[in-house]
């Protein structure tokens, strides 16, 4: 029994170490960039943001969603959380941000932000345009920070035939993003092809690879 318990503990520690290594790889890949993380509701996007925030010296969460259980906040006690209730709250929160070393700024989520505007659509048919202009203004301000930025969004079905999905955002928001990542659940099979569980996976589906301005105008060596 003692050997079995030790083996189980070792397996847990190995899995935990593997997850930490994967998180560090993701951090290196997205460092200093604007990232869009999308996926279906409750797939674990918010949990991922909280978990990876522990790898940064300074992290700020601009929280619009109301799906966070209280125990989520224990994941990173050093995380600075600013709860957003109105559009003006978000403007103020972004303008109050200060440039800090090894910094993460996350917005969770851009989908909930759009709901703030679209709920007014009955009284204002311009709500969609207002949201586009507003989100463009917010992301332009964030792009000035050398920090790593993660914008969380839901997904939507792009094609009924292929079952292809896409971020539930507009192209104006997308143009600010350097990296687009999708989180999804995929089945796990044993060596006999029998499903034994599920795992959450993050896949980079789009990445901007442009030269610096100097390289763009004068060419790289």
Could you report the per-residue pLDDT of 39-71, keeping only the tens digit for each? 998 899 999 999 999 999 999 999 998 877 878
Q: Nearest CA to 203 among 219, 183, 220, 189?
A: 183
Q: What band does 125 get if pLDDT is binned at 50, 70 and 90?
A: low
Confidence (pLDDT) at 87: 86
Q: Nearest CA to 167 among 109, 85, 88, 87?
A: 109
Q: Residue 195 — φ and ψ, nearest 5°?
A: -65, 125
The domains of the chain are located at: 29-218
Does the pLDDT of residue 136 top 80, yes or no?
yes
Strand partners for 170: none
Q: What band does 161 get if pLDDT is binned at 50, 70 and 90?
A: confident
Q: What is the CA radius of gyration of the chain?
A: 20
* CATH top-level class of 29-218: alpha beta
Give the mean pLDDT of 183-197. 87
Q: Are 182 and 205 in contact (CB under 8 A)?
A: yes
Give dist(CA 141, CA 163) in Å, integer: 35
What sign does the CA torsion over 126, 131, 136, 141 have? positive
Largest CA distance in the chain: 68
Does the pLDDT of residue 5 top 90, yes or no?
no
Look at the block and give the residue holding tokens 């079995």. 4
Q: What band does 218 get if pLDDT is binned at 50, 70 and 90?
A: very low
Strands 179-189, 80-83: pairing is: unpaired
End-to-end CA distance of the chain: 63
Q: Nearest CA to 151 among 112, 102, 206?
A: 112
Q: What band does 19 get if pLDDT is binned at 50, 70 and 90?
A: confident
Strand partners for 36: 151, 180
Task: List, as one string, the DSSP characters of 55-121.
Answer: GSSEEEEEE--S---GGGGGG-TT-EEEE--SHHHHHHHHHT----SSEEEEEE-HHHHHHHHHTTT
Q: What band does 77 get if pLDDT is binned at 50, 70 and 90?
A: very high
Strands 34-39, 179-189: pairing is: parallel
């Amino acid at each position: 029994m003692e050997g079995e318990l030790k083996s189980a503990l070792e397996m847990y520690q190995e899995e935990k170490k593997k997850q930490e290594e994967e998180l560090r790889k993701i951090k290196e890949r997205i460092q200093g960039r604007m990232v869009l993380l999308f996926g279906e509701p409750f797939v674990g996007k918010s949990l991922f943001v909280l978990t990876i925030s522990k790898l940064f010296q300074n992290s700020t969460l601009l929280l619009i969603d109301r799906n966070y259980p209280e125990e989520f906040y224990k994941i990173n006690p050093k995380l600075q959380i600013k709860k957003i209730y109105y559009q003006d709250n978000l403007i103020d929160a972004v303008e109050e941000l200060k440039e800090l070393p090894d910094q993460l700024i996350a917005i969770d989520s851009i989908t909930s932000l759009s709901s703030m505007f679209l709920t007014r659509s009955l009284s204002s048919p311009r709500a969609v345009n207002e949201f586009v202009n507003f989100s463009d203004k917010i992301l332009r301000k964030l792009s000035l920070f050398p920090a790593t930025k993660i914008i969380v969004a839901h997904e939507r079905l792009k094609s009924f035939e292929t079952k292809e999905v896409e971020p539930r955002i507009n192209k104006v928001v997308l143009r600010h993003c350097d990296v687009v990542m999708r989180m999804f659940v995929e089945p796990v099979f044993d060596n006999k092809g029998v499903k034994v569980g599920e795992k959450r996976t993050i896949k980079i589906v789009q990445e901007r690879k442009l030269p610096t301005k100097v390289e763009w105008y004068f060419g790289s060596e």
